[in-house]
């Protein structure tokens, strides 16, 4: 017999890419507590607590708010397949990689999809969205709040009201925004939102928190056809995460523990304090990256604090650079996607990782990587610029 693989012992990493981000130590700690059955009274209480905290973080009263048992993309798929029936019209606004994923899923769900495109790195103006709604009169409009492929932030605050003037439901991708920046489902009149656990909530990947407005629930009730997916069918999952707590599938118990702790951490810190922390660390990182000569992809004024996507300078090899960051410094950053494949580095400082320690480490390491690749750099300038930013 060949030798048994050794006990798992991964090298420590600092996960500063677009996700997963490092899990908070308290999250990892609750994950090693004993399993409960998915119908154990203790677990039912944990579910209720988790849903209540999730509503607070999403800033909503929506009854139908719970984590789908799979990653962010499953939340995306849940929102789309439950609200779309064959032949329904959908407008999807894309300004990067993840908008395109919504187009693909909506099409597979049977929608007649109209794609509105903004250049990668740009965002939509309200008038462009009004135009699309007027022309198409769709049942749903899908848009990404925080486009992780470009680091651009789409203002969602006025889109829900606008959609409702046309009888359209608003679906919003909050995968990279939840836990890092304000997400106000009720005030913004968002009808269906989805997120993940491994980015702003500092948990491992594995759950996708979603929330449906009463309008969306009404649409679900009035469907003429069955939801195309059995597993993601909210009309039946509701019997578990809704009132009855009847078996639908076995909840990933340990991941629910993790999410509960991640949400406790968010609310313990306070939403406003948490968002302010993300901005402070973003400003310092941005000052440092700028001092190193790196330029942001997203336009000034629509840059996400938690995801900093910058162009790789000419003459620096993408893969070699990231490889050195990982092997010499234990730091993972993301490469570019789609139009920016090979051309961008994406630095995430999300949730627990939004802190000075991470900012200084990545700046110091990047400086060495860039200098090593032959880029002329005023040595120490990145770290010094971040330091000045923190000093105010």
Ligand X SMILES: *Cc1c(COP(=O)(O)O)cnc(C)c1O
Tokens matching residue 183: 């997400």
Single residue of 51, 154, 176, 211 touching ligand X by CB under 6 A = 176
Size of the site for ligand X (CB under 6 A): 13
Task: Sketch the per residue contact string, 128 through 157, with ligand X: x for CB under 6 A, - otherwise.
Answer: ----------------x---x---------
Q: How far are the Cα atoms of 56, 57, 147, 254, 366 from residue 261, in angstroms, in the given order?
A: 14, 13, 26, 11, 32
Of the residues 173, 261, 332, 367, which one makes contact with ligand X according to CB under 6 A: 173
Name the residue nearer to ligand X (CB basis): 36 or 347. Answer: 347
Q: Are 348 and 146 in contact (CB under 8 A)?
A: no
Residues 79-98 that bind ligand X (CB under 6 A): 98
Task: In angstroms, give the least distance from the CB of 124 to ligand X.
Answer: 15
Q: Give the binding range for ligand X (CB under 6 A) out of 5-13, 68-76, 263-271, 315-323.
A: 68-76
Stretch that binds ligand X, among 48-56, 66-74, 247-255, 334-342 (CB under 6 A): 66-74
Q: Map residues 31-50 to x or -, x wherever contact with ligand X holds by CB under 6 A.
A: --------------------
Q: Which residues 6+ apart lie within 8 Å of 84 measured at CB?
A: 90, 106, 109, 110, 111, 139, 140
Name the one range near ligand X by CB under 6 A: 26-34, 43-51, 67-75, 132-140.
67-75
Q: What does the alpha-carbon distance between residue 61 and residue 279 come to, in Å, rounded to a whole number?
A: 27
**206: contact with ligand X by CB under 6 A:** no
Q: Does 266 bind ligand X (CB under 6 A)?
A: no
332 binds ligand X (CB under 6 A): no
Kindly provide the residue ranges of all beta strands, DSSP E only, lying in the chain, ordered along the sequence.
14-15, 64-68, 89-94, 112-117, 140-144, 146-147, 152-153, 169-173, 192-194, 208-212, 307-311, 331-332, 334-335, 344-348
Place of tokens 């995306």: 76
Considering beta carbons, is residue 43 or 97 the nearer one to ligand X?
A: 97
Stretch that binds ligand X, among 168-176, 185-193, 291-299, 310-318 (CB under 6 A): 168-176
- In DSSP notation, 210-247 reads EEE-HHHHHHHHT-SS--S-STT-HHHHHHHHSSS---
Q: Is residue 19 at the binding interface for ligand X, with CB under 6 A as the rule?
A: yes
H-type alpha helices, 110-252? 126-136, 159-165, 214-221, 234-241
Binding site for ligand X (CB under 6 A): 19, 71-73, 76, 98, 144, 148, 173, 175-176, 196, 205
């Amino acid at each position: 017999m060949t030798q048994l693989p050794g006990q798992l012992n991964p090298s420590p990493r600092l996960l500063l890419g677009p996700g997963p981000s490092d899990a908070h130590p308290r999250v990892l700690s609750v994950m090693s507590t004993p399993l409960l059955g998915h119908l154990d009274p203790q677990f039912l209480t944990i579910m209720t607590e988790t849903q209540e905290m999730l509503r607070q973080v999403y800033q909503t009263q929506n009854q139908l708010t719970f984590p789908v048992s799979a990653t962010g993309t499953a939340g995306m798929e849940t929102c789309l397949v439950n609200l779309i029936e064959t032949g329904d019209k959908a407008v999807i606004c894309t300004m990067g990689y993840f908008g395109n994923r919504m187009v693909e899923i909506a099409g597979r769900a049977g929608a007649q999809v109209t794609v509105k495109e903004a250049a990668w790195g740009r965002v939509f103006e309200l008038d462009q969205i009004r135009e699309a709604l007027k022309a198409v009169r769709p049942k749903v409009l899908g848009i990404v709040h925080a486009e992780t492929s470009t680091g651009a932030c789409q203002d969602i605050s006025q889109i829900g009201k606008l959609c409702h003037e046309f009888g359209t439901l608003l679906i919003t991708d909050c995968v990279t925004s939840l836990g890092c920046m304000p997400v106000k489902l009720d005030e913004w009149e968002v009808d269906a939102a989805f997120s993940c656990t491994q980015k702003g909530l500092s948990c491992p990947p594995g759950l996708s928190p979603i929330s449906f407005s009463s309008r969306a629930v009404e649409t679900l009730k009035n469907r003429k056809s069955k939801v195309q997916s059995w597993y993601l069918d909210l009309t039946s999952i509701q019997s578990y995460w809704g009132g009855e707590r009847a078996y639908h599938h076995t909840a990933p118990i340990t991941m629910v523990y993790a999410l509960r702790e991640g949400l406790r951490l968010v609310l313990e810190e306070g939403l406003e304090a948490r968002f302010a922390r993300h901005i402070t660390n973003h400003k310092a990182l941005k000052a440092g990256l700028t001092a190193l000569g790196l330029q942001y992809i997203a336009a000034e004024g629509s840059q996400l604090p938690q995801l900093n996507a910058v162009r790789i300078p000419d003459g620096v090899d993408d893969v070699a650079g990231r490889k050195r960051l990982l092997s010499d410094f234990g730091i993972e950053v993301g490469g570019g996607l789609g139009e920016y494949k090979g051309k961008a580095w994406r630095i995430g400082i999300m949730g627990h990782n939004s802190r000075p320690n991470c900012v200084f480490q990545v700046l110091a390491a990047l400086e060495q990587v860039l200098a090593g690749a032959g880029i002329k750099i005023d040595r120490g300038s990145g770290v010094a610029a971040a330091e000045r930013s923190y000093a105010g």
